[in-house]
Amino acid sequence: MADPKGFMKIGKKPAGNRPVHERISDYSEVEQVLNSEDRKLQASRCMDCGIPFCHWGCPVDNLIPEWNDLLFQGDWKGASERLHSTNNFPEFTGRICPAPCEHSCVLNIGEEPVTIRENEAAIVEHAFAEGYIKPNPPQVRTGKKVAVIGSGPAGMAAADQLNKAGHTVTLFEKDEKIGGLLRFGIPDFKLNKHTIDRRLKIMMAEGLEIRTGVEVGRDISGKEILDSYDAVCLAIGAMQPRDLSLEGRELDGIHFAMDYLTQQNRVNNGVYVPYDNRITAEGRKVLVIGGGDTGSDCVGTAIRQGAESVTQIEILPKPPDKRADENPWPYYGKILKTSTSHEEGCQRRWSLSTLRFIGMQRRVTHVEVEVVTWEKMEGRFQMKAVPGTKSQIEADLILLAMGFVHPVHEGLLEELGVNLDMRKNVAVDGDLSTNIRKVFGTGDAVNGATLVVTAIASGRRAARKIDDYLLSSSK
Ligand SMILES: Cc1cc2nc3c(=O)[nH]c(=O)nc-3n(C[C@H](O)[C@H](O)[C@H](O)COP(=O)(O)OP(=O)(O)OC[C@H]3O[C@@H](n4cnc5c(N)ncnc54)[C@H](O)[C@@H]3O)c2cc1C
Ligand code: SF4
């Protein structure tokens, strides 16, 4: 136990963020770092409450009270080992996880949870700085070959686990670099891409083979992969964006959030994008449609690009500031979330439905919206337009950030004949096996768009099932 009275003596002290005026002129990470002594004191606030609700809240089952205790004692190496025993990439989750664990922390009953996510990031960064995280290749190879297709957090976690188990793993990625949405979706100001390269270097030194710029199902057929490998793991994400098929959708200046964010991430990485192809918010009145994390990332990016104004609209009502009675602790608190991007200057509006895009000379100039209400009928919320509330928002750059519907079906999934579930995701059984022999599924491709931590947990689970399959098939 960290310190039996730590939580009574020490208040919550988050590391805080860089000042707004400074951070909006670059793409460096917004969050600051706490000094080691303060970090240990923050760990001492964990009261090891007996039933670790935080552990229940964490999708990768992180052993939170255990590594908080080790951190408090100054055993950074031990804390890192304990952390890595359940999570392949704490440097990602430590930065960008929405920390459901903190919602479940007993101290969150008083709204002062342990800074679990920040402690996690501090442990892994300290471990990298001290050289505790080194390549540790498997001593024995099994002779089995596995292809992991898609290199987001699910594919990376599955590949890492399978490689550590001694299988020979090739990680295929259609983009030019490994990382999936970690690299090309999530902006640098939340997750700097050096963290991905640093981890990848270790994984490759441990024997992982990577093949980037290869779209399986196009550059190489699914059949060829099936013929060449003993098992295949589909970790292709849920990349099909939700569209708004409304009047005026064809106007210039309307883009999917992912096209916009991906381009800025590539530019930050030194890729040249010709001016005519640039999607930039510079000098524009930006409207982000969709109130979630992707929308918030568009807000932060648009502000850094020099937008004249940024507005974000959401069709759902504004969440409450405090938990509603039907959403008690230790469940994830459905409360208003204000991201660092929102703090940087953006107007947020709720309960607005988009009706049409209006333009002049082929470019969008306005969006017509209408206020809606949500009423519970027969157990389900139904949307109703409020008569007489139509209005127009002036905007000449529209970013569609309404989430993703399912994985892309064209190409690999169609070629292999993989069955889909009711939500058009990859259908798997309890062993994460698809209808095709030796083909498994993991991550957003199976679960729909979720979180990095859920993808890592799913990748680890897929690796376990594939390992079981390979061991049983070699008997
Ligand atoms: C803008 C944005 C911000 C987000 N922010 C957060 C956040 O702050 N915190 C959080 O927890 N989650 C966040 N998420 C969600 C999180 O990024 C995803 O849930 C997670 O990345 C899913 O992991 P995955 O490995 O299943 O898929 P992905 O990360 O989508 O990776 C799939 C990979 O498969 C590749 N691929 C697809 N088809 C093929 C093929 N045929 N051949 C080869 N490669 C292929 C793709 O190119 C891609 O690299 C965000 C998502 C977005 C879009
Ligand atoms: S991975 Fe997320 S939920 Fe789990 S301990 Fe870290 S911050 Fe909490």
Cβ–ligand 2 distance for 44 under 6 Å, the answer no
What pLDDT, on a 0 to 100 scale, did the predictor assign at position 219?
Answer: 98
Query: Each residue of 194-218: pLDDT tens digit?
Result: 999 999 999 999 999 999 999 999 9
- Closest residue (by CA) to atom 6 of ligand 2? 117
- Closest residue (by CA) to atom 1 of ligand 2? 93
Strand intervals (E) in 118-194: 145-149, 168-173
Is residue 122 pLDDT above 80, yes or no?
yes
Q: Are 469 and 162 a contacting pair, CB within 8 Å?
A: no
Cα–Cα dist 343/364, whole Å: 27
pTM: 0.97
Is residue 34 pLDDT above 80, yes or no?
yes
Is residue 427 pLDDT above 80, yes or no?
yes
Residue 3 confidence class, pLDDT cut points 50, 70, 90: confident
Report residue 94 as tokens. 């430590």
Query: Each residue of 310-363: pLDDT tens digit?
Result: 999 999 999 999 999 999 999 999 999 999 999 999 999 999 999 999 999 999
- Closest residue (by CA) to atom 17 of ligand 1? 181
In 10 A of CB 130, how many CB atoms?
11
Which atom from ligand 1 is nearest to the alpha carbon of 172? 43
| Mean predicted confidence (pLDDT) in 366-373 | 98
Beta bridge pairs of residue 147: 170, 232
Is residue 65 pLDDT above 90, yes or no?
yes
What pLDDT, on a 0 to 100 scale, did the predictor assign at position 1?
Answer: 64
Cβ–ligand 2 distance for 118 under 6 Å, the answer no
Cβ–ligand 2 distance for 116 under 6 Å, the answer yes
Pocket test for ligand 1, best of 96, 117, 172, 181 (most atoms within 8 A of CB): 181
Report residue 119 as tokens. 């402690």
Cβ–ligand 2 distance for 47 under 6 Å, the answer no
In 10 A of CB 85, how many CB atoms?
12
